Amino acid sequence: MSKINVAVIGVNGFGRAHLRAFDANKNANLVAVCDINEEYAKELGEKYNVAYTTSFDEILENSEIDAVSIALPDQLHAEYVTRALRAGKDVLCEKPLALNLEHCREMIRVAKETGRYLMVGQICRFTPGFVMAKKIIDEGTIGELFFVESEYAHDYSKMTCEWRKNDPERDGFLGGACHAVDLLRWIAGNPTEVFAYANHKCLKDWPSNDCTIAVMKFPNDVIGKVLGSTGCKRDYTMRTVLYGTNGTIIVDNTNPKLTLFREDAYLKEGCHETPIEIPVEVSNHNIIDEINEFVSCIIEKRTPILSPEEGAATVSICLSAIKSAKEHKAVEVEYDF
């Protein structure tokens, strides 16, 4: 296969970014867009000079379309992904993979049965600062990790979409903080146990908690925490601190510098206050690289790094934190998919 023909489903929000990335990818042909809202479908179809429709069935029946990119409300991921896989399409699905483990398992099962590609868009795996942090850790520069923390702070109070706001199953810790959870499990492995507290003080007209702090036990005796706040009054941030026995990394997807403290640098300079600052590109929604990975996996017949099992593991950790906060006890995380 030299080029793949792609349709984007759900185009008015983050789907616009998917469209830009497929349009820029030299191995993909954007051939159609689909949105339940005809106005959006028409606008984006005309903008990219491709076919547009409000009917997902039409997309599924079109044998010229090899792959679909699902940028639909979280509640629809499981249904639309499984229908697309069964119709023989490869699928990129936005995060979180689904809102419960039953749906995650079904998506994994159908992907296996049909033999199609299913990749989940956990975009932080492509954020330049986070990629750099992981490289530094993997090279052993900061020694052995012992504590990792990340926060997802994003004020949702002005977001108007009803699907985000009115579904009690879509707790902000799953919908938003899944980014920080996925980042930490990418760096430190799958936590075995989670204990969380949560409160509900900012988004009072939303049905679920808006702030959760989840403490986790990772493999190799690493401990860590994720803060998720969707009502905070501040700029969006995913500030992350990664502590190793020989150094520390501070990295934020909104900051053009990664800060690295190294024990050997202190010794050389005799000073504990001279970190090394490494310039990084601020690209906190690096959809270009995410979509390059999806397209090249299909063309090179390579399993996506972000398999549905990866997406399900992240969902499972988030759900464990939500459960822990409700039941006031530690929860063992399930990875049986």
Give the footprint of ligand NAD on this chain (CB under 6 A).
Answer: 9-15, 34-37, 40, 56, 71-74, 76, 94-95, 121, 123, 161, 285
Query: Considering beta carbons, is residue 56 or 130 the nearer one to ligand NAD?
Result: 56
Structure tokens at 115: 């033999």
CB atoms < 10 A from the CB of 330, how many? 15
Query: Considering beta carbons, is residue 95 or 262 the nearer one to ligand NAD?
Result: 95
Query: Considering beta carbons, is residue 15 or 45 the nearer one to ligand NAD?
Result: 15
Quick one: residue 154, left, alpha or beta (phi over 0 = left, psi -120 to 50 = alpha)?
A: beta
Classify strands 67-70 and 90-94 as parallel, antiparallel or unpaired: parallel
Rounded least distance, CB 239 to ligand NAD, Å:
16
Query: Considering beta carbons, is residue 106 or 167 the nearer one to ligand NAD?
Result: 167
End-to-end CA distance of the chain: 31
Rounded least distance, CB 71 to ligand NAD, Å:
5
Rounded least distance, CB 119 to ligand NAD, Å:
12
* Cα atoms in the 13 Å half-sphere on the side-chain side of 313: 18
Rounded least distance, CB 14 to ligand NAD, Å:
4
Q: Which residue in the shown chain puts its C-beta closest to ligand NAD?
A: 13
Rounded least distance, CB 266 to ligand NAD, Å:
36
Rounded least distance, CB 98 to ligand NAD, Å:
10
Helices and strands (H, E) in the chain, number of each type:
12, 15
For residue 18, give every residue at least 6 positions away whose Cβ sits within 8 Å of its Cβ, in sequence order, or none: 8, 11, 69, 71, 92, 287, 291
Rounded least distance, CB 187 to ligand NAD, Å:
18
Rounded least distance, CB 56 to ligand NAD, Å:
6
CB neighbour burial string for 85-123, b if at least 16 within 10 angstroms, e if fewer: bebebbbbbbbbbbbebebbbbbbebbeebebbbbbbbb
The single-letter code of the amino acid at 45 is G
Query: Considering beta carbons, is residue 111 or 136 the nearer one to ligand NAD?
Result: 111
CB 319 within 8 A of CB 177: no
Query: Considering beta carbons, is residue 14 or 147 the nearer one to ligand NAD?
Result: 14
Rounded least distance, CB 185 to ligand NAD, Å:
16
Which of 152, 148, 137, 198 lies closest to 320, judged by CA?
198
**Helices 308-327 + 178-188 axis angle, to 10:** 110
Query: Considering beta carbons, is residue 47 or 217 the nearer one to ligand NAD?
Result: 47
Give the integer Cα–Cα distance in Å for 194 and 223: 10
Query: Considering beta carbons, is residue 127 or 142 the nearer one to ligand NAD?
Result: 127
Length of the chain: 337
Query: Considering beta carbons, is residue 145 or 286 the nearer one to ligand NAD?
Result: 286
